[in-house]
């Protein structure tokens, strides 16, 4: 017994010194196997929904054959232990009705005896540790149960610490990509936008799916972030995915994750953004461009709140609030067979239409001053101001590119303005001003809506390519687009 206690103390020091979660979990099961002198061991952790146990590590003769296993609470001996929050000795596993037989059937391993204890941290069951088939002459007994229970207490604390580090690592990319968002804000002066915001605040208090509609550049992502910040999930991750910036294969892997060996180059298991967003908000931008095959998988997430990783077979539960956005006419996309009707109805529970900037000109002065202050701070031109005549000119502009175009124009003016006051001449307003009724004289304004949008996209791409000397990389940077998306636009518009 003294030898066991000495070993327990030695192992506890190792556990509390490890912060790498995969390495720690391996150490836990191997240490348990040595302490209890058994043939195999396994460790399950409770997933973030609290509804399933996920097998993280298994040792023993057939450990490599058990690639993925999820048990519902109450299922199997591990599920029983998690539900009842107490250890269990089963010395005749094959005749115990609680025993989960599938692993033995698929691997050929014969489980004779099981000793399982819960990992409890701060009054919560966070996992289950199992040792299988004692190698001793006697069967598992009460002394073994007490030893493994004591060991599990150290293991639970170590898992908590390592999980904290792992969660920070998981969210590192999100935090990194969100750094530029630190200056963003939702500016609302116009009555039409105030109405949208009021509806958005009410929608934020529930988990109902919200569909944001509006032209490109009106600020759909900013509103989505605001909805997240107004919601009870504000302290959890906000994960934004641009459905058109990635290829179909990459988008599927990014969203759902993949198992090791799922495809060429999948050298290790990868969590998808659905898992990273656990407890928080997932924002699907440009949802109208998602391919039908992925639409079917997304529909399952919305209906059942579960999915499978690429190459996986076990369903993973998720608890997320889904927001989506598009500048497309989804009804037209449905008629053309590009968008699923059932997915549209799932997304369109609450729809918010963000008006274009030309229809909420009361917002322009405040937005302008905001962008001037932001870019002046970034360029260290803190004395810079904008002339009232320049703001007046901006209010009479047609704004085909909406708020995004306003931000770009102000950024350029901040950088290039020779003095401390931005004048009208410092603004690159390329279109003619609208007439007294607010309608632009640009020929695009006479075209049907979708055709004018397509023509505008083509013109912007062509102009950017000319200004960049034909370099698609530079053109993509100027347009603030992903290079892959620009290539798709060039192919779509037959631009060489």
- pLDDT tens, residue order, the chain (496 aa): 555 655 555 555 555 555 677 888 888 888 888 888 888 899 999 987 888 998 988 888 877 777 678 899 999 999 999 999 999 999 989 999 999 988 888 888 889 999 999 999 888 899 999 999 987 777 898 988 998 998 888 888 888 877 776 665 555 555 444 444 444 567 888 899 999 999 999 999 999 999 999 998 899 999 999 999 999 999 899 999 988 877 777 888 888 888 887 777 777 778 889 988 999 999 999 999 898 888 999 999 999 888 888 888 788 889 999 999 999 899 999 999 999 999 999 999 999 999 999 999 999 999 999 999 989 988 888 889 999 999 999 998 989 889 999 999 999 999 989 989 999 989 988 644 444 444 444 556 656 666 677 777 878 887 887 777 778 888 888 887 877 778 878 877 777 6
The pLDDT of residue 182 is 45
The pLDDT of residue 451 is 66
d(CA 156, CA 122): 9
d(CA 77, CA 395): 69
d(CA 126, CA 53): 9
d(CA 495, CA 455): 13
| 180: phi then psi, degrees, rounded to nearest 5 | -70, -15
Nearest to 54 by CA among 275, 254, 207, 267: 275
| 356: phi then psi, degrees, rounded to nearest 5 | -65, 160
| Block residue for tokens 């998720």 | 318
Q: 3-class SS at 91?
A: coil
| Block residue for tokens 């105030």 | 194
HEC secondary structure over 138-178:
CCCCHHHHHHHHHHHHHHHHHHHHHHHHHHHHHCHHHHHHC
d(CA 448, CA 12): 71
- DSSP strand pairing (421-422 vs 385-386): parallel
The pLDDT of residue 106 is 82
The CA–CA distances, whole Å, from 311 to 106, 245, 258, 363 equal: 18, 23, 6, 48
Distance of CA 115 to the CA centre of its chain: 38
* Residues pairing with 53 in the sheet: 46, 71
CB distance 371 to 413 below 8 Å: no
| 62: phi then psi, degrees, rounded to nearest 5 | -120, 25
d(CA 26, CA 39): 15
The pLDDT of residue 229 is 92
CA triple 45-51-55, angle to 5 deg: 30
Contacts of residue 106, Cβ cutoff 8 Å, sequence gap at least 6: 65
For the chain, the residue count is 496
* Residues pairing with 284 in the sheet: 241, 324
d(CA 102, CA 253): 28
d(CA 328, CA 326): 5
d(CA 287, CA 269): 26
- 10 Å Cβ neighbour count for 227? 26
Tokens at 74, concatenated:
């109450």
Q: 3-class SS at 482?
A: coil
Residue 334 burial (C-beta neighbours within 10 Å; 0-12, 13-18, 19+): middle
| Block residue for tokens 């979990």 | 25
Nearest to 24 by CA among 183, 226, 161, 229: 161
Tokens at 225, concatenated:
């972030």
d(CA 429, CA 406): 10
CB distance 114 to 99 below 8 Å: yes
d(CA 322, CA 210): 7
CB distance 224 to 200 below 8 Å: no
Q: Which helix (H) or strand (E) holds 37?
A: none
CB distance 398 to 431 below 8 Å: yes
Span between the terminal Cα atoms of the chain, in Å? 78
Tokens at 172, concatenated:
């590192």
| 89: phi then psi, degrees, rounded to nearest 5 | -110, 125
CA triple 207-213-215, angle to 5 deg: 150
Tokens at 106, concatenated:
């698929």
């Amino acid at each position: 017994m003294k030898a066991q206690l000495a070993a327990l103390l030695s192992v506890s020091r190792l556990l509390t010194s490890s912060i790498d979660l995969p390495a720690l979990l391996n150490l836990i099961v191997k240490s348990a196997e040595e302490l209890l002198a058994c043939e195999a061991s396994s460790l399950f952790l409770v997933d973030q929904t609290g509804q399933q146990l996920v097998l993280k590590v298994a040792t023993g003769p057939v450990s490599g054959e058990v690639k993925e296993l999820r048990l519902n609470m109450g299922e199997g001996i591990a599920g029983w232990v998690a539900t009842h929050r107490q250890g269990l000795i089963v010395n005749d596993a094959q005749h115990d009705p609680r025993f989960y037989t599938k692993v033995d059937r698929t691997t050929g391993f014969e489980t004779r005896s099981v000793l399982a204890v819960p990992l409890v941290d701060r009054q919560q069951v966070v996992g289950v540790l199992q040792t299988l088939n004692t190698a001793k002459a006697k069967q598992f007994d009460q002394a073994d149960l007490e030893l493994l229970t004591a060991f599990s207490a150290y293991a639970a604390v170590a898992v908590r610490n390592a999980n904290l580090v792992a969660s920070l690592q998981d969210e590192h990319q999100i935090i990194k990509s969100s750094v530029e968002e630190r200056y963003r804000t939702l500016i609302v002066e116009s009555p039409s936008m105030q109405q949208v915001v009021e509806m958005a605040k009410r929608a934020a208090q529930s988990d109902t799916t919200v569909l944001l509609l509006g032209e490109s550049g009106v600020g759909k992502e900013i509103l989505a972030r605001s909805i997240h910040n107004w919601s009870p999930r504000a302290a959890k991750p906000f994960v934004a995915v641009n459905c058109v910036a990635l290829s179909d294969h990459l988008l599927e892997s990014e969203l759902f994750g993949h198992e090791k060996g799922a495809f060429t180059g999948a050298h290790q298991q990868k969590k998808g953004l659905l898992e990273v967003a656990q407890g928080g908000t997932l924002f699907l931008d440009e949802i109208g461009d998602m391919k039908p095959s992925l639409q079917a998988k997304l529909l399952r997430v919305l209906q059942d709140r579960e999915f499978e990783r690429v190459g996986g077979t076990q369903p993973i539960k998720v608890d997320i609030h889904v927001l989506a956005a598009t500048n497309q006419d989804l009804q037209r996309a449905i008629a053309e067979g590009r968008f699923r009707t059932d997915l549209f109805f799932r997304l369109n529970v609450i729809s918010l239409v963000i008006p274009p900037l030309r229809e909420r000109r009361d917002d322009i002065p405040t937005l302008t001053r905001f962008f001037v202050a932001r870019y002046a701070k970034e360029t260290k031109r803190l004395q810079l101001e904008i002339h009232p005549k320049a703001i007046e000119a901006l209010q009479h502009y047609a704004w085909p590119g909406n708020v995004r175009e306003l931000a770009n124009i102000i950024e350029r003016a901040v950088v290039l303005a020779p003095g401390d006051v931005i004048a009208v001449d410092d603004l690159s307003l390329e279109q003619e001003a609208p007439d007294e009724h607010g309608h632009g004289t640009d020929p695009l304004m006479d075209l049907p809506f979708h055709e004018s949008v397509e023509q505008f996209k083509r013109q912007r791409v062509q102009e950017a390519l000319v200004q960049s000397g034909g370099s698609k990389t530079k053109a993509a940077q100027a347009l603030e687009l992903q290079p892959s998306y620009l290539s798709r636009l060039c192919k779509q518009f037959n631009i060489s």
